[in-house]
Structure 1
Amino acid sequence: MNERLHAPMSRLLSSSRWIIPLILCLLGTAYVYWENIILDGYLPTSPQTVLGFFLLTLCSPLLTMFTLHWAYRAALLSEAVEEKREQENQHLATLNKIGDEINQSLELDVVLNRTIDRVLELMSLQSGGVRLLENGQLILRTSRQVSNNFVESEKIVPLGQCLCGQAAQTGQLIAVEDLGKSSTYANTTCACEKFQSVLSVPVRTAERVVGVIHVASQVPRVFSTDERALLMAVGHQVGVAIEKARLHAQLKALNQQLEQRVIGRTRELVDAKEELMRKADALHQVLTEERRIEEKTRAHIAHDLHDSVQQLIIGAMFETQAARDSMNKHPENAEQRLIAAQLLLRQIETEMRSAIYSLRPTALDAHGLVPALREYALGFAQHSGVECNVSVEGIPRRFNPDGEVAVFRIVQEALHNVETHAAAQHVQLHLMWNVRDLHAEILDNGCGFDLAEVTNQTRTHLGLIGMQERAEAVGGTLKITSHSGEGTRISLRVPVN
């Protein structure tokens, strides 16, 4: 509406500012001529008539001409202001349109592709690309209407090099409207691509430059001031969108990492639960096995007592009764009967000690861990035929009774396994004492075993689990290292404070 009114007004005033004063001058002359010459029949000579003629034919047209000229200039100014406002509205509409399109997605690649498409459409161009600044280099992320050679050679542009690098470094728009006349850029890849006019716009946020929009034309092109200002505004808008897309990508990556951590933690918890259930089941089996061994031991002791001690007691009773009878009838035989009874009683004592030792070694309570282990190793070597050496490093000392019993039983179980499974000729028991803990190593030269395979064998596995449980019960750790044909090493650490 305003455009239809203002444009004809300026054109009308442009011609009227000369025509209307001329018409007024002619009308004034005709009026004076008609009134004084035609009607009165003589030339006007009076001062009043001459003054009236001057006012009608000269002053009034001049005043009208000045007034119309001022109105014409005012109309031109109004049209310029309106045109400027219209351009600003168009620029804002263009920015809003571009902003709406690039903000529809938070995916960085989608934002970059929409950006170059809208900018090329805005500039009525076909060739261009978008570069992002990464580690001091501009990386070409998307392009339009350029050769493969251009993409390969311009994939990475250092900061400050060529138009794009300079635009990113300075943060200013750089335009070359005729590459053929530019000595600075005549040999660039853009010139080889037969571009005539190129323009690089920095893409920036409020704090920093994040990339460059590069457009080009194969025919000479003048980039107006309004176009440059609009492209700078687009660069700011795109910079915000790119930063938002990057933040979205970072947030997405963090969410994925968090999800992976949650999945991993959940898996760990599930595995831990399964491990606890497995250990609980293994512990139940160990306890069941211990009860079975305890009942077997009791039965064995009862059998031994019945077969040996009880028979010896009966024999001793017969000998003492025979000695009593001989006191009256055959006194010379009484002493022999008493000696025989003493021998039987000593055997009974030995059998009882053996039975008691199998339940709990008395040397452990009386003398401590090292003497008890030496005594047990000696007995083990005698009845198994496997050479067993005990070495001690550091200063031995007494510590928690439960810990001493645990170490003794673990060594006992380990030597039992050597005798039963290892087919070894030699086993070394090394005890290392320090301020905080006792480190015991049992090393044999036997056949060794596959730990994973043995784990699937219930009876042997239960023995290993029992050793592990005993160590953990007193705050210690147990490590078993073995390979088929290479012997076995058992490392035990138990706190002694």
Structure 2
Amino acid sequence: MGIKEQPPCEHPLHEPCLDDACLDGLEAVSEAVLAMSGHLEVREVLRRITASARSLLGAEYAALGVPDDHGGFAQFVVDGVTDEQWKAIGPLPRQHGVLATMLHEMAPTRLTDVRKAPAFGGWPGAHPEMTDFLGMPIPDGEEILGAIFLANKDGGFTAHDERLLRILAAHASIALANARLYERSRELTLAGERARIAHDLHDAVSQKLFSLRLTAKAAAKLLDRDPERARTELAEVARLAAEAADELRAVVVELRPAALDEDGLVATLASQVQVLDRAHTASVEFASDGGVRTLPPAQEAAVLRIAQEALHNALRHADAAKVAVTLRGTATRGAVLKITDDGRGFDPGAVQRAGRHLGLVSMRDRAQSVGGHLTLTSAAGLGTVVELEVPGA
């Protein structure tokens, strides 16, 4: 396989040693472990593992692949490759050749020249040139969660590098397993929250809607033979409809997204923007100045809901190509949310006169309910800017 044999390390990591080389190696591993353990989203953990492995061993390129059940990769993260190079390379690799070895065997693979390996099957034309190679599976008991691939290190990879990467892979397994459990927990929490909402909606609104329907039918039958009584019934329809709307609004306002409690406003908003950016052809970006302090729960929920409403309008109605979301702190410990899109824009006055609201009423109501101030600027062909300022605690 072209494995480069190295003399045994005089100070292996599992034996006590105090010289600078060993201490540097341990400190580097510690820093790498801390870097990847401070995150709970799977994609970010994978990215941190990949970057940490490349930095730890001084490789030019690093990648981490998580296999799927169909001969491909469910996720594949790279470090050291530019976005332009990555796009030019083309589709994700399949589980074959040297990559497959890492996904089906617990042992690492260390090669002086990956191109000379019997299992090497070539790579796309835009793929960077790689020679020396070190691959390490990420084990979880008898299961392999994925594999780390490193390439191109000055002087080649050593047995010492292999031991460092093995330690990192063991910690990567824990970090990745924790991230998966965390995401699963959030999925279950969201499922439970949906079930609670459905129950609340049924109890709070369904009976009102049933009564409203019966009353409306009665009014329709009375229109010809008893108009006065029909008017009374229609007034009852209006009252029931208003009550149902109030109760529905109460359920929605009461709901506080679970992610806010766990991650905070900045991380939750950043995560939702990231999902929308992947789901839509429009570019959706998020930026925060890092100065946003923790707000009261009601204010955080209002900021998030208004952001969701504004993003929905920009992506579904405005035909925007680019949407920018910013969140910054204020001197009074409050926050300012701003959503800007380059969509078709509209005349707010004309929209209101036409009886269409695009969620503007609910956004203003939410802002006022937490002592905030909402401004909306838009014009036909000039995009839209929604800005919300909420006070501090």
Q: TM-score, normalised by structure 1?
A: 0.37
Q: Higher relative contact order at CA 8 Å, sep ≥6: structure 1 or structure 2? A: 2
Larger Rg: 1
